[in-house]
Amino acid sequence: MFYGLSGVRHNSYVSDSKLFPVPADRNAVVFFLLLGLAAPYLVSSLYLNSYILPWLIWTAAVLGLNLVTGWAGQLHLGYAAVMAVGAYSAVHAAKFGIPWEFALLIGGLASSVIGSLFAFAALRTKGLYLALTTLAMQFVMDWVLTHSPTIAGGSHASLQSPTFALLGQDITSDAGLYYVAFGWCVLVTIFMLNLRRTGLGRALVAVREKDFAAAILGVNSFYYKLVAFAASSFIAGVSGAILVATFYFLAAPEQFAVNVSIQVLAMVIVGGLGSILGSYLGAALILLMPGVVNQLFSLGANLLGLDLGIETLAHIPNAAYGALIVIFLMVEPLGLGKLYANVRDYLMVWPFDQLKK
């Protein structure tokens, strides 16, 4: 009903391959874009800066991981390490006096270079073995960070980020920082949406589905893996740098440790492999869940008159986080994005649902 397809006709390939062929989708996207732009005037600063801003940056990062894991099918358990490379390079560059625009670029490129090392692992191995290799690389990176005071920022291992500035303007206001995150997230989203329509995107999917077969069809799978890792690492690097510049204000190794890698991967899985909308939803769910679960449990305990210890209460969100991943994989392995697509598919043909299988 919302997605009425009647009257939608495409007379050319150009219009048929538009980003959003269904008008309802187009309207929804415009609506959310406007909502995003107006957010600083609608939402309290607490939600804007402690929830929405990190959510948008993480979404951008998740999209990057989705490029390599969801689309190219390469398991990556060292994504946080790649983000760290970008973050540290950018902050060091900015400290050196390079304008932030270029510092971000440097961060992204540095990540691309290091991230491509992961691609060489992907050339040799896949599946479980690639996952283990990238995990080991994450550990190496963690080690380097905690053992190189010059990179990590002295004996306290904290590296202050200079004030963020674009075009010579210092950005310190809540709204300003928010727009930076929003802009980056929109940019990455547009890139990913368009990637879907290009030969590159299709080649990546081909590599994922069967790299032998892709090779026979003339798809150079190594080249595309490399491109996927490089592009995804670039996104990771810039996202990491923006995260530090607009949210943490300083970089520390714990921000990019192995559990963060797992968390980003969980966002991808819960959101749905290869789903752009899913990346938004997955990031939101994983980020917000600990707080919400904690509050729900203490509320529930309060209502039932149970006296849960403070320690018990603190561990429950972790158990719930694990349970969430397990339940998702059991019930809908394709994640939130797929759940939404199911609803959408249903409504598309409603009330004429004879097309349903």
Partner 1 sequence: MKTKTYVKRLAAAAVMGLTSLSAANAAEDTIKFGMCYDLSKSYTFVTPQITQAAQDLATLTNMKGGIGGHEIEIIVQDHGNEPQRGIECYEKLKREGVFVFDMLSTPVSIAVLPRIMKDKNILIQSLVGRGDAADGSVFSQIFPVGPTYWGQAANDIAYIKEQSGGDMKGVKVGFAYLDYPFGQEPIEILKTLAEKEGFELLLYPVPLPGSDQASVWTKVRRDKPDYVVAWLLAGGHVVAAKEMKRNGFPISNYISVNWLNEVDIANIGAEAAIGLKRGTNVAGGQDLPIIQEILADVYGAGKGAGPVEKINDVYYNTGLAIYSAAFEAARLAVEQNGFPVTPDSMKAGYESIVDFDANGLFAPITVTADDHGGGGKTRIEMWDGKTWVPQQDWTAAYTDVIWDVVKESSSKFTVE
Partner 2 sequence: MDLVFLAELTVNGALTGLLYSLFAIGLVLIYKSSSVPNLAQGALTMLGAYVVLAFSHNMGLPLWVAIPLAVVIMFFVGIGIEKVALRRLAGRPVIMILMMTMGIDIFLRGTTLAIWGGSSRSVDLGVSYEPLFVGDMLLSRIHIVGASVALALFVAFFLFFRSRLGIRLRAISDDYMASWSVGISVERGVGLSWGLASIVAVATGVIWGEIQGVDQSLSILLLKGLTVAVLGGLDSIIGAIVAGIILGILESVGSFYLDEIVGGGSRDLIVAAVLILTVMIRPHGLFGRHDIERV
Q: What DSSP state is assigned to residue 197? A: T
Coil, helix or strand at residue 160:
strand
Residue from 326, 346, 350, 353 binding partner 2 (CB under 8 A)? 326
Structure tokens, 229: 């890792």
The minimum distance between CB 340 and partner 2, in angstroms, equals 19
Residue from 18, 258, 290, 341 binding partner 1 (CB under 8 A)? 290
Q: Which residue has the tokens 């002295």?
A: 154
Enumerate residues 6-45 that contact partner 1 by CB under 8 A.
44-45
Residue from 22, 36, 125, 341 binding partner 2 (CB under 8 A)? 125
Q: Which does 163 bind (CB under 5 to 8 A by kind): partner 1, partner 2, none?
A: partner 1
The minimum distance between CB 354 and partner 2, in angstroms, equals 31
DSSP H or E stretch at residue 67:
none
Q: How many residues does the chain have?
A: 357
Residue from 106, 188, 227, 273 binding partner 2 (CB under 8 A)? 273
How far, rounded to the nearest angstrom, does the alpha carbon of residue 348 sit from its chain's CA centroid?
A: 28
DSSP H or E stretch at residue 251:
strand 250-251
Contact mark string toward partner 1, 148..187, x via CB under 8 A: ------xxxxx-x-xx------------------------
How far, rounded to the nearest angstrom, does the alpha carbon of residue 1 sit from its chain's CA centroid?
A: 31
Residue from 329, 342, 350, 353 binding partner 2 (CB under 8 A)? 329
Q: Which does 292 bind (CB under 5 to 8 A by kind): partner 1, partner 2, none?
A: partner 1
Residue from 70, 86, 271, 317 binding partner 1 (CB under 8 A)? 317
342 binds partner 1 (CB under 8 A): no
Phi, psi of 188 (to 5 degrees): -65, -40
Q: Are 175 and 42 a contacting pair, CB within 8 Å?
A: no
Using the contact rule CB under 8 A, the part of the chain among 24-32, 182-190, 205-213, 301-309 near partner 1 is 301-309
Nearer to partner 1, 37 or 296 (CB): 296
DSSP H or E stretch at residue 176:
helix 174-195
Quote the CA–CA distance of 276 and 190 in Å, as a whole number. Answer: 10
